[in-house]
Structure 1
């Protein structure tokens, strides 16, 4: 806690392997000061039902929200078996939040209305705070992120949004989110924050398109499944194009051989989650027949991270960088033995956050990116 005490946003990391009462340790570290909101990112090791009840009973905040992770980012850099928490004090922040359930059958008009109400509530709390952003947490196994973030962003108007899809390590079994003691699957949480602190929302990846093309000729969009690529069975054709034995396809291969879709002069990663038993490829984001994809070429991931974080700190050191970092980036860093270098950069720039099953940036659900917010002290306008 020593570093956090001098900062605006309070951050806490609890090692589950070292603590017999992690919830108690987290509550003690956050203290009794009033928070506008507290974001909690919990390893899959945590029994969320019991844990969230303890937090709700003892923390001084009207909005306590969080998610299960695919790994954590704390003061040590990349980590696992942790609980990471961010406390936004009422002296610099005002917040309004809501959980949205039944994402399989959403009422889009009602969602838009509720998001507008969140904005109005946050603004009413502190008219003198001029800066506003939105944070989104979505069940990373719901397969509803694309439609939901579009709906939310439309209602937010000019307010910038970033977020992450909850995870479950590499098990891909259950990725709930939680809000004020409620633990829910197939749900999302929208948080709107007002502040006197300047901020920058960002989205970055370290890829460039190559000449290796893949055309999706068979897909089941609602399940994010690709059945055919180039009129051939999907998994063997992908393996052929990237030069890998089909029997060796794994999350590590998908991380190091990503595919992207180009929209104008920009590209967006369409990351593969896994190979199904029938040879279909399941994706982390929306996919449809007729999409033209290319295999991406990767820059050095740690050098790119250094450039991104240095740029965010060029004019003023952020009080905090809160990051939603795709699990496939961590897997690539592990495979290429870049974890030590990545963690060093994350520590240097005070980055906290979690590894995700997908990321949200304004109106888009994306994959294999680093997405987040840099929050600066209020005296640097």
Structure 2
């Protein structure tokens, strides 16, 4: 039995600036079916990379530099990546939530305002400026797809809204995968191509170190379980998305009218030892339309829910645990239909822009915290307990196809 943990020491830091993949050390993607309609036979997962300024001074990003993915085989060989930009990828990027760009703007605005009030002097907003102690989140999508009977991994960089700030961030990298196996993935912040020129004059505060890189994470590509097209097994742990009803009738276009949706995940322990899982805000929905495009995925919070021991089930050998989070379809005025799925921590996932048609959906497990100190509030003793030994990883199950009518 293998537990995967983040390696906090495995970072490359240059003068207080470093990159970090904000995901578990293990990322698992199922290999999609090799079908003629490759637009829908696709597996996509979103990851985040943070560029963090731990220095006492603000720094500027070089606009000619970008995130460059590096993929290694199990024997340490570097796979040659290529860069492309086409309509299909552009469309996928537009469907990735542009929250990162707004987040950058908001944090910079608040930070600049605070400094202005403190020093009583005007500060000009610079989109490429990272103030001391701040971090910029960059959202990427990893997409597995068949192209001319060859399996291809596409690394789709940040939303197009950021390309106005960082040149080359709207590009997509792709790697031809020779065979399903375990790979190592990391990102380097550097110049794409041979040109080292910049629109901004170089300064000591400009981040331009080609060697700046994230930690390596394990990327495992696995065939789905033969007897369950909606399941995948990782080191003896079986993950399966459940959806008993595959044809759903959309509710009337009236306020308050809703259609319940049964959508769940089943985790089976096929190992010889008991394994504990975190189900507290770790089950993440992913929705793909008939055109193969990722739908907007927003997280919103209604309130705050304390974790309880039931959120961390201990699954014995040969046993399973099933979770069906509350899910519903509803209509909003001047908007298509919306799917809401509770996250379990007082918040919910919101998937917008739905209409009649064919979709693919999954519930992925994503627990990035190490062998674990999660505090559980005990009403009787008024103390906190620690839940340890949680299974670590980001596992994307094969998607289930369903129809809205």
| TM band (smaller chain) | under 0.3
What TM-score do you get using the length of structure 2 for normalisation? Answer: 0.25
Q: Which has the higher helix share?
A: 1
Instruction: Report the structure number with the largest CA radius of gyration.
Output: 2
TM-score (norm 1): 0.26
Normalized per residue, the structure richer in strand is 2
